[in-house]
């Protein structure tokens, strides 16, 4: 497994298609995906608030399965770093940067790039990256392994089955236009 480490911010864990893709890519071993119990609590709480039609038990079961399936995914004992972090626009995001520092992550994968300005993160040797940019970087790293992960993701969508175009449309709705453009070159493969 690669030692290249990233921290997934809470906002990338919902909706489910993005979470599924990012977790399947992590399973390739091309990088190590990490998060914290606090990040897990944040995404599950927000998902329950936005989707009252989903069972809280099902959401918690998904979170528990993620924690148990991905070896060493939970960053712990980072809290003492939080007070040392200054300059983030939202002080409530310090825990994400602290987790990245603790596990020596190179990247924070997040939609909220404005909350993690480069001028602040540079001081800590960390960079924030949009999920679409991150996914394309991973796809470029090992196309075969990534296409296999995408193939497995699409095959798991059985209710209802999705054509390749429908699948790509789902990814487009996840704010992944570069990823969709990249995958369109390999439609025959997945």
Instruction: Give residue-wise pLDDT tens across range 42-66.
Output: 999 999 999 999 999 999 999 999 9
CB-side neighbour CA atoms (13 Å) of 61: 5
Structure tokens at 53: 């039609």
Q: Select from 136, 137, 142, 145 the least CA-distant residue to 183.
A: 136
Q: What is the pLDDT of residues 103-143, one digit of tens each?
A: 999 999 999 999 999 999 999 999 999 999 999 999 999 99
For Cα atoms 134, 24, 107, give the angle at the middle one, nearest 5 degrees. 30
Q: What is the CATH number of domain 5-130?
A: 3.40.50.1010
Assess whether the previous peptide bond of 160 is cis (omega < 30° from 0).
Answer: yes
Average pLDDT over residues 15-20: 93
Q: Are 39 and 99 contacting, i.e. CB atoms less than 8 angstroms apart?
A: yes
Going by pLDDT thresholds of 50, 70 and 90, the confidence category of residue 71 is confident
Looking only at the bridges linking them, the beta strands covering 32-34 and 107-109 are unpaired
Q: Are 31 and 5 contacting, i.e. CB atoms less than 8 angstroms apart?
A: yes
State the pTM of this model: 0.94
All structural domains of the chain with their residue ranges: 5-130, 135-189
């Amino acid at each position: 497994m690669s030692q290249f480490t990233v921290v997934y911010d809470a906002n990338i864990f919902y909706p489910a298609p993005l979470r599924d893709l990012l977790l399947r890519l992590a399973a390739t071993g091309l990088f190590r995906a990490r998060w914290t119990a606090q990040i897990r609590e944040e995404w599950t709480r927000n998902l329950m608030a936005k989707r009252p039609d989903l069972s809280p038990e099902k959401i918690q079961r998904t979170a528990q399965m993620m924690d148990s399936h991905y070896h060493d995914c939970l960053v712990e004992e980072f809290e003492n770093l939080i007070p040392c972090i200054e300059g983030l626009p939202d002080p409530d995001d310090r825990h994400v940067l602290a987790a990245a520092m603790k596990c020596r992550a190179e990247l924070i994968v997040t939609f909220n790039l404005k909350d993690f300005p480069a001028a602040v993160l540079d001081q800590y040797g960390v960079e924030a990256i949009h999920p679409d940019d991150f996914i394309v970087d991973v796809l470029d790293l090992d196309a075969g392994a990534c296409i296999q992960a995408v193939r497995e993701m699409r095959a798991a969508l059985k209710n209802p089955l999705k054509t390749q175009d429908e699948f790509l449309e789902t990814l487009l709705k996840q704010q992944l236009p570069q990823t969709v453009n990249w995958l369109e070159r390999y439609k025959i493969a997945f």
